[in-house]
Copies of this chain bind each other. A is one copy, B any other.
Amino acid sequence: MPMLDDDLLATPACLGIDWGSTSLRAALLDADGRVLAERSAPCGLLQLPAGGWADAFERQVGDWRARWPALRTLMAGMVGSRHGWSEAPYCGVPAGAGELAAALHWLEPGRLGIVPGVDCDDAGVPDVMRGEETQVIGAMALLQRRDATLVLPGTHSKWVRVEHGRIRHFATAMSGEAYALWRRQSMLARSLPAGEDGPIDDAAFDAGVERAQRDGGLLHHLFGVRTLALFEHRPAASLASYLSGLVIGDELRALAPPVAGAGELVVIGAPGLAARYARALRRQGHATRQLGDEACWRGLVELGRRIDAR
């Protein structure tokens, strides 16, 4: 996304901030959620010192806020968690744009607010999201749909069922974190090349996804990474892709049936990872559609509209 010259800007409709565990991304948005200007900085929950949120905020977007003093700023993500800037209590399901707008956590009334996360109950065990709710609201607006199943891959992937325009149920899978642990910290790391992963090996990834659909369970199939290396059944360079396929394939096997209805699955995420999920889903017979950053920005603008309408 190229940086635009601020001097060229029309008056933006909203300053949107996606502030998560590892980074802050800020964008000046028009009334349809299109990006007029964008910035990002590696100052997420994991990097910021306790109490460092207000300073980081001023540093990153203080000039924009000074230039357009009436502009509303809406933030989503871990910024609203217990260890974030200010805790925004979770909104229960069903949660649509109306419920989220009504529950907005204001730091400056009407001017600076944090979108609440969403919680739900899975047979006595809670599940939570923060930030994904905004992407989901934006995706439904972009696609002009009221019902959908959405997958938001990441460190902790979310599978979300939306009905009648509201988040009805969702489930988290710790897949990205699991991949990183097994890839780098487990006994399997000895069988895998050191250094950064290269481009995905599609055939090995597909084989991992297929394998994960078989009986035996993830903890069993993971051991296969070791034995495939031991017996040289697969080149070591392809094993990281195979491992990724095992983990994502296990997530699909476990969560697609209970969460996904019939019809197209919407995958929202960074292009490379989202494409990997879409590939795995298609091979399991699911139609897919992919969205990226635009979902979050559109979601914040949608919530702003609901606030204006109140």
Contacts and interface: CB of A to CB of B under 8 A. Distances in A.
A233 B126 contact: yes
A126 B186 contact: no
30 contacts: A122-B216, A122-B224, A125-B233, A126-B224, A126-B227, A126-B233, A127-B223, A127-B227, A171-B216, A173-B220, A173-B223, A174-B186, A174-B187, A174-B219, A174-B220, A174-B223, A178-B219, A181-B182, A181-B185, A181-B186, A185-B185, A215-B258, A216-B254, A216-B255, A217-B250, A218-B218, A218-B254, A219-B251, A219-B254, A220-B254
Given A125-B224, A172-B220, A174-B220, 20 more contacts: A82-B230, A125-B227, A125-B228, A126-B224, A128-B230, A171-B216, A171-B220, A173-B217, A173-B219, A173-B220, A174-B187, A174-B219, A174-B222, A177-B186, A181-B181, A217-B255, A218-B218, A218-B219, A218-B254, A220-B254
Interface of A: 82, 122-128, 156, 171-175, 177-178, 181-182, 185-187, 211, 214-224, 227-228, 230-231, 233, 247, 250-251, 253-255, 257-258
Contacts of A221: 125
Contacts of A174: 186-187, 219-220, 222-223
Contacts of A254: 215-220
Contacts of A224: 122, 125-127
Given A126-B231, A227-B128, A216 B181 contact: no
Nearest to A82: B230
Contacts of A172: 220, 223
